[in-house]
Chains A and B, each alone.
Chain A
Amino acid sequence: MLSTMELLTTNYAYGTFAIIIAIGLYMMIASPNLVKKVIGLNMFQSAIFLFFVATAYVHGGSVPVIPQEGGAVGEFASPLPHVIVLTAIVVGVSLTAVALALIVRIYTEYGTLDERVIREVADD
């Protein structure tokens, strides 16, 4: 059984994941500024990327490039989560682009990025 100290020193990446994902979620909910909401969303997603990369790490493992002549031995970092993160980053970038495009249009329409003001104007 690992002690608390050992858990913290070996699994700090997972702890950071939990903290960042919570901050991102809180920012999305609590910030009235639309751009900051999108930043919160980005933090939320980045935390998940961190989680995937952390799971791929193998202590003492090397880069998972298998030589063509074969004969690879030893431990390798898992390549699959890295591929997942790459794809997820692409998805995240396109989402951010769409979100910002929408925000530009909202700004030209309402002249503000404050959600509370927009809600007041939109309800009239």
Chain B
Amino acid sequence: MTDVALALLVAVPILAATLPLLLGLRFENVGWPIAVVVAAVEVALAALVAQRVFTDGAFVHNLGGYPRTYGIELVADALSAAVVALIAVVTLAVLGYSRTAGPHRNSFYSAFLLLCGGLMGVSLTGDVFNMFVFLEIVGLATYGLVAAGRSGRSALAALKYLLIGTAGASLYLVGVGYAFVATGTLNMVELAAAISEVGYTDPLIIASFAFVAVGLSVKAAVFPLHTWMPDAYAESPDTVTAYISGLVSTVGAYALARLIYTVYTPEFFAAVPLAADALVAVATVSIVAGSVLAVMQPDVKRMLAYSSVAQFGMIVAALGLATETAVLGAFIHLIGHGLMKTGLFVAVGVLASAYGVRTVSNYNNLGYRSPVTVAALGLLLLALVGIPPSIGFLGKWYIGLGALDAGAPIVAAVVFFSTLLTLLYAARLLETLYFNPADEPIEGPTFPGVRVISDGGKASVSVGMVFVAVAIAIASVALGFAGPLLEAFFADFLEAFL
């Protein structure tokens, strides 16, 4: 009966999202405890699902007992179980951070839980239209959370994200419509069979793939459709940045992977090589553009946002290459990047709460003032560069190897080049943190008999916040040793589709 866990994973956070608002009428600050209870339940359910997938393989849950021809099914296979586990763990970790860092409003936690439920829905659904609805739930909750900063700039960033994100989701819906017209079904498994019957080179199918790929590339922030991302990351509160950077574009890329491998299948790429080539070409440009733009940013949050553009470029390129090693690399990097980015933004958030610093030049010598946080930040940066042993290394290694397998040495070269650029901006940050002399405190004018008192910034760093950053840093290094385990976990999925 563990298949009910799939429905609960989606339903629990969405239903619980009403509670902070409802109970908020009576009590103050109930949002956080409710969210933590939900996150703990989600982690337990995700562990249950992952364990069953690992031992027995994929399983499905038909909602309402309707068979897949009429109803909607939730599917847990290796890929969705891994993404679900990531979502559950990151949700709990970010809550550990937000206890002190805030925002503390009840409405914030309602949107937060709604986002969690939407993310779970996208990763579990086996129906392409249902996926659109969950993508829009994710979108709506994210727009609200980005604007939680309450400044005009964050509202502007949220509106920009809303316009671009909704256009992307709508393009995905057009693609779904075309596929539906061609095949008459919306279930992913049935679509795969129906599409091969209709013929991969049917103009409707090719057009539907183009719309779906462009629409989901917006969600995954692939260059040049990434423009919403730096603003949304930089202007939202640190808690929100840590959460959405790890998960929202991750499920966008997951949706793309799901559509490519479950619905269109690699046979589509074999029949229409242009589709795969275009995907790889755009993604390769994305790797270069993201890395170069990241090097140029003075603002740390923007730098990390552009680094995400590059990392998602890598993932999408690997998906387009469609060799076993490359796709394995894409999955590992998808999970690893989500974990590392959350950790990085948590660490950056801790430094921002402690010292109010947001730009690289203000990070002078912080390595000696906050040794633990900065050590975690440094570790995560090195993992992002891809220095072994770390999850970042594993992902890039498999992608690079897969690119060589696929006979695309250019992609392998670009991945290597981007690693050098990542090293450039990571090293610049590390140098500032450890080797630049500390800023001299600015001496203001002194008046006899007048004492200047400062409030010392927002000295609101709790042990929990630092602990989250350290735990994620350790996890991303520890997972670097889990290569064979991850390979075994994804083996069935890869064998079924490639």
Q: Which chain A residue shows the least CB distance to B137?
A: A91
Asked if A76 is at the interface of the complex by the 8 Å CB criterion, the answer is: no
On whether the beta carbons of A37 and B170 are closer than 8 Å, the reply is no
Once A91-B133, A105-B147 are accepted as A-B contacts, the answer to whether A51 and B162 lie under 8 Å apart by CB is: no
- Chain B 144-175 near chain A by CB (<8 Å), digits 1 or 0: 10010001110110110011001100100110
Q: Which chain A residue shows the least CB distance to B165?
A: A95
On whether the beta carbons of A48 and B159 are closer than 8 Å, the reply is no
Once A25-B167, A95-B140 are accepted as A-B contacts, the answer to whether A48 and B177 lie under 8 Å apart by CB is: yes
Asked if B264 is at the interface of the complex by the 8 Å CB criterion, the answer is: no
On whether the beta carbons of B167 and A105 are closer than 8 Å, the reply is no
Q: Could you say which residues of chain A place their CB within 8 Å of the CB of B174? A: 21, 48, 51
On whether the beta carbons of A110 and B136 are closer than 8 Å, the reply is no
Interface size of B in residues (CB-CB distance below 8 Å):
27
On whether the beta carbons of A103 and B163 are closer than 8 Å, the reply is no
Max chain A CB contacts within 10 Å: which of B167, B170, B180?
B170
User: For chains A and B in complex, what number of residue pairs have CB atoms within 8 angstroms?
Assistant: 70
**Interface SS of chain B:** helix
Q: Which chain A residue shows the least CB distance to B152?
A: A109
Once A55-B180, A88-B173, A102-B147 are accepted as A-B contacts, the answer to whether A95 and B166 lie under 8 Å apart by CB is: yes
Q: Which chain B residue shows the least CB distance to A84?
A: B129
Max chain A CB contacts within 10 Å: which of B147, B155, B174?
B155
Asked if B143 is at the interface of the complex by the 8 Å CB criterion, the answer is: yes
On whether the beta carbons of A28 and B143 are closer than 8 Å, the reply is no
Asked if A118 is at the interface of the complex by the 8 Å CB criterion, the answer is: yes
Asked if B181 is at the interface of the complex by the 8 Å CB criterion, the answer is: yes
- Chain A 62-99 near chain B by CB (<8 Å), digits 1 or 0: 00000000000000000011001001100100110011
Q: Which chain A residue shows the least CB distance to B151?
A: A109
On whether the beta carbons of B156 and A122 are closer than 8 Å, the reply is yes
On whether the beta carbons of A34 and B159 are closer than 8 Å, the reply is yes
Q: Which chain B residue shows the least CB distance to A44?
A: B170
On whether the beta carbons of A102 and B162 are closer than 8 Å, the reply is yes
Interface size of A in residues (CB-CB distance below 8 Å):
31
Asked if A33 is at the interface of the complex by the 8 Å CB criterion, the answer is: no
Once A48-B174, A55-B181, A98-B144 are accepted as A-B contacts, the answer to whether A87 and B167 lie under 8 Å apart by CB is: no
Q: Could you say which residues of chain B place their CB within 8 Å of the CB of A110? A: 152
Beta-carbon contacts under 8 Å, B406-457 to A? none
On whether the beta carbons of B156 and A98 are closer than 8 Å, the reply is no
B143, B152, B181: the one contacting A98 at CB < 8 Å is B143
**Distance to closest chain A CB from B194 (angstroms):** 14
Once A94-B140, A102-B155, A106-B155 are accepted as A-B contacts, the answer to whether A48 and B162 lie under 8 Å apart by CB is: no
**Distance to closest chain A CB from B260 (angstroms):** 22
CA distance in complex: A28, B164 (Å): 9
Q: Could you say which residues of chain A place their CB within 8 Å of the CB of B152? A: 105-106, 109-110, 122
Q: Could you say which residues of chain B place their CB within 8 Å of the CB of A51? A: 174, 177
Q: Which chain A residue shows the least CB distance to B136?
A: A91
Asked if A41 is at the interface of the complex by the 8 Å CB criterion, the answer is: yes
On whether the beta carbons of B158 and A41 are closer than 8 Å, the reply is no
CA distance in complex: A94, B133 (Å): 12
Question: Which of B's residues lie within 8 Å of A, judged by CB?
Answer: 129, 132-133, 136, 139-140, 143-144, 147, 151-153, 155-156, 158-159, 162-163, 166-167, 170, 173-174, 177, 180-181, 186
Question: Which of A's residues lie within 8 Å of B, judged by CB?
Answer: 21, 25, 28, 34, 37-38, 41, 44-45, 48, 51-52, 55, 80-81, 84, 87-88, 91, 94-95, 98-99, 102-103, 105-106, 109-110, 118, 122
Could you give 17 example pairs across A and B, Cβ below 8 Å? A28-B163, A41-B167, A48-B174, A55-B180, A91-B136, A95-B136, A95-B140, A95-B162, A98-B140, A98-B144, A98-B162, A99-B159, A99-B162, A102-B159, A105-B152, A109-B151, A110-B152
6 tightest Cβ-Cβ pairs between the two chains A and B? A109-B152, A105-B155, A102-B159, A91-B136, A102-B155, A106-B155
